[in-house]
Structure 1
Amino acid sequence: MELEYTACPLCGSDRKRKAYPNFHTYQVVRCASCNFYYLYPRPTEAAMLDLYSKNDYFEGEEAGYQSYAEQEPALRATFRRLMINMKKHEITGGSLLEVGCGYGYLLDEAKHFFNFRVGTDFSPQAVEKAKTRAELVYQGGVDRVPPDRNFDCIIATQVIEHVYQPQLFLEELATHLKPGGKMVIATPNMGSFWRYIMRDRWPSFKIPEHILYFDKKSLSVLMKRIGLKNIKTLPYPHAFPLPLIASKLNVTLPSSLNKYNLWMPATTLALYGTYPGNLGS
């Protein structure tokens, strides 16, 4: 892949120091100005968008997911728990937009919590599957959503770590929120104890797809920067298929055990904020 050498995606500083240098062509560096972690160098955005648009991204070998479909029981369990937690925090009801919806498992689990559900994804294969689980699904990014269509809640889970211009991405999402609407952003938690324990073997160092690494402080800063108010933490327990966990320990288990889940705490950071309307005024 063609590579680019960039400044900090959060603050723009060129000052950085090595943090995790042992990823062959790549390393994860830490900004010396704002302490944000990011991939350096990184593939160009055009190269990665081409990867995400491939039909085999969700069922491939070299990149993406080995089999997203085999993770369905664990993903659905995760999203059911997420919806329950969102309801407890008064984030459900009305219309929902999910950016990066994959096969639509979250949208399907949201059917008892939202009246109208819309998704987007770059993969044509994913879009075809997700269309059976929501009212509307667009192929592409948030730019494919009609500009006059606004939502009570927008969620992007396991997406922002792939995004090349994170502030612009959140600003685009905010243009589709109704006044008083909620934005939920979930991403691998760089502040997790798992990262400290596992270091270079932390599974969320998914190189080169994950180019940004957020902790609670950095994600809060970004969400506040675009004008969201009352930034709060949303509990996000995550279930993983047992064979997937075993594979991270170099142990191979039969895929028939995918129906058995292991709940892992603190792997995912989720924050939500309220759109007050008239951002930037």
Structure 2
Amino acid sequence: MKTKPELRWADGEIERYCVVCGRRGLQNQIALVEVNNQPPMRIARCRNCSSVLLDDPDPPVENIDYWNDYVEWIAGIEAIASFLTLVESAPGSRFLDVGCGFGFGLDLAQKTKGWEVLGVDPSIGARIGAQDLGVEIRIGQLGNNLVLDSTFDVILASEVLEHVLSPSDFLASVRSLLAHDGILVITTPNAKTVDPANLDVDVTMALAAGDHKFLVDAEQLEILLRKAGFEFIEIDTTGIGLIATATLTAVGQQKSLLGLGFKNIQVDEYLRDRGNSAPKGSGLAVGMWARLVQSEVSAGKIDEARQDMVRLADALENRYQIDLTRLDTIREMEDPPSVLVSVCYLAGFICFVHEKNLPRAAEYFNLSLNIEIVNETKNNKAGIHPSKLFVIQSLGHLALALAPTKPKGAKRALKRLDRLVAAKECPAEVAKDFRDRALAITPPHGPTYTRLRSGMRKIYIKSKHKKSK
């Protein structure tokens, strides 16, 4: 049974070679990460360049279940689209996506930018994506068993650097494929995320112990890029990661829009087109409609979300024979698809906001939480999964749905949120906001109201004390 990674901060020293700066010998041990009840993996920080160094990654294992989840909900299509907006390049530009995975970046570049696209990736997901999306992907690893005989105007290497054996060799290979006035967009987790001051869930996501080999900070990323021959470099932070553009010439640098700020963008039109064209009963159809409903809910477009939820329900019924209106049958499923964690939350939110059907909304939120409990047993080894975000939102909105009529149930939901705060898996201010809102709609003067208010004050005091430090 797979379990989420357990992080423990530690000290001491261990022998470790730094693939970033080349330092050999003893390094500072900073943490231990236990994954799937295996002996803990040791995390070190280089005494010379401060890069984070991990145990050698496990041999890659092709997992079709992971790729099903990736297509249906893990892949951050909006983020991928945002990376492409950092570049100003004309239609017809040659685009290479190194480590393209399923190929969503290629599909977006082809459909929204009009670029000529090529991907490189060794995974089974790339084979499936090439067929399902109709994009060209070369199966293999750049600079290893794969040679390309052309140059490219735009190269994307998103979340690839941290996996390679030699970052210098990898970037040199990328540079050799870049046109003289071309531009590289690269993203990678930020080594500075690995800090006790940050949420444990963010640290474990950045580390991805068992998958990643090392992490760099912005300074070391710039050094690596300059050593590879890039002259013009811009680097920004986004969430737990770094994003950079790098070029060989000033002409190439004029294509970079990173200086204007990195922003997530909406890709609703792309999602709708892909949802309509995807084969019935496919994971692609489920994934496109689920992401579109999520985007519409996030933007407050509840009427549109209700309409597209019907299409999502049809896609789920065609693929899994699931009737979203029959919650009892979903509860009885022994192996529910992972995407139901998000779908049930979204269905509950629509019931909560639009239909004002609080009991029904609470049922959906509870179902989302129960499916996540089942889902944790088949989570990927690094614990990288978007489900925690939906757990937080489902718990908070469950409290809001129950507070007017079942305040004790609301209290239990908020206590679970408090435990996530204590485990550094949920920001204290998020839990406090839900508690404030639940308190505002809880019938006054009862014992539960008093306890909610007391709990709210405790969270407020802890949060204020933490900020004062």
Same fold? TM cut 0.5? yes
What is the aligned partner in structure 1 of residue 220 from structure 2? 218
What is the aligned partner in structure 2 of residue 229 from structure 1? 231
What is the aligned partner in structure 2 of residue 17 from structure 1? 28
Bigger shift: residues 155-164 or 233-242: 233-242
For 1:180 and 1:151, locate their aligned partners in 2 and report how far apart those are by CA, in whole Å. Answer: 9
For 1:209 and 1:248, locate their aligned partners in 2 and report how far apart those are by CA, in whole Å. Answer: 22
For 2:90 and 2:193, locate their aligned partners in 1 and report how far apart those are by CA, in whole Å. Answer: 25
Asked if 1 retains the 8 angstrom alpha-carbon contact of 2:193 and 2:206, the reply is no
Asked if 1 retains the 8 angstrom alpha-carbon contact of 2:126 and 2:137, the reply is no
- Write the mapping of 1:263-274 to structure 2, written as runs, cut at 5 A: none
Q: 1:230 to 1:91 in 2, by over 3 A?
A: farther
TM-fit CA distance, 1:120: 1.2
Instruction: List alignment gaps of at least 5 residues for structure 1.
Output: 254-281
- Write out per-residue CA displacement over residues 130-168 of structure 1, whole angstroms, 9 at most, x where no aligned residue: 355465210011245544211111111011111111111
For 2:109 and 2:196, locate their aligned partners in 1 and report how far apart those are by CA, in whole Å. Answer: 30
TM-fit CA distance, 1:205: 2.0
- Write the mapping of 1:92-241 to structure 2, written as runs, cut at 5 A: 94-111=93-110, 112-133=112-133, 135-143=135-143, 145-192=146-193, 196-199=197-200, 202=203, 203-233=205-235, 234=258, 235-237=261-263
Q: 1:201 to 1:113 in 2, by over 3 A?
A: closer
TM-fit CA distance, 1:124: 2.7
For 1:172 and 1:147, locate their aligned partners in 2 and report how far apart those are by CA, in whole Å. Answer: 10
- Write out per-residue CA displacement over residues 26-53 of structure 1, whole angstroms, 9 at most, x where no aligned residue: 12111111111110x324xxx53x42xx
Instruction: List alignment gaps of at least 5 residues for structure 2.
Output: 1-14, 236-257, 266-290, 295-340, 343-384, 395-469
* Letter matched to residue 247 of structure 1: K
Structural RMSD (CA): 3.3
TM-fit CA distance, 1:175: 1.4
Q: 1:84 to 1:238 in 2, by over 3 A?
A: closer
Asked if 2 retains the 8 angstrom alpha-carbon contact of 1:104 and 1:131, the reply is no
For 1:179 and 1:215, locate their aligned partners in 2 and report how far apart those are by CA, in whole Å. Answer: 27
What is the aligned partner in structure 1 of residue 79 from structure 2? 78
Secondary structure of the structure 1 residue equivalent to 2:76? helix
Asked if 2 retains the 8 angstrom alpha-carbon contact of 1:105 and 1:130, the reply is no
Identify which of 27, 32, 43 aligns with 2:47.
32
* Letter matched to residue 71 of structure 1: W
Bigger shift: residues 175-184 or 124-133: 124-133
For 1:100 and 1:137, locate their aligned partners in 2 and report how far apart those are by CA, in whole Å. Answer: 10
Structure with greater Cα Rg: 2
Asked if 1 retains the 8 angstrom alpha-carbon contact of 2:96 and 2:117, the reply is yes
Q: 1:200 to 1:9 in 2, by over 3 A?
A: farther
TM-fit CA distance, 1:126: 2.4
For 1:232 and 1:248, locate their aligned partners in 2 and report how far apart those are by CA, in whole Å. Answer: 30
Structure with the higher fraction of residues in helix conformation:
2
What is the aligned partner in structure 2 of residue 42 from structure 1? 56
* Letter matched to residue 191 of structure 1: K
For 1:92 and 1:182, locate their aligned partners in 2 and report how far apart those are by CA, in whole Å. Answer: 15
Asked if 1 retains the 8 angstrom alpha-carbon contact of 2:194 and 2:207, the reply is no
Q: 1:34 to 1:249 in 2, by over 3 A?
A: farther
Determine which structure has greater relative contact order: mean sequence separation of CA pairs < 8 Å that are 6+ residues apart, divided by chain length. 1
For 1:122 and 1:187, locate their aligned partners in 2 and report how far apart those are by CA, in whole Å. Answer: 19
For 1:201 and 1:115, locate their aligned partners in 2 and report how far apart those are by CA, in whole Å. Answer: 34
Secondary structure of the structure 2 residue equivalent to 1:197? coil
TM-fit CA distance, 1:251: 6.0
How many pairs are equivalent? Answer: 234
Structure with the higher fraction of residues in strand conformation:
1
TM-fit CA distance, 1:93: 6.1
Asked if 2 retains the 8 angstrom alpha-carbon contact of 1:246 and 1:252, the reply is no
* Letter matched to residue 52 of structure 2: Y
TM-fit CA distance, 1:127: 2.2
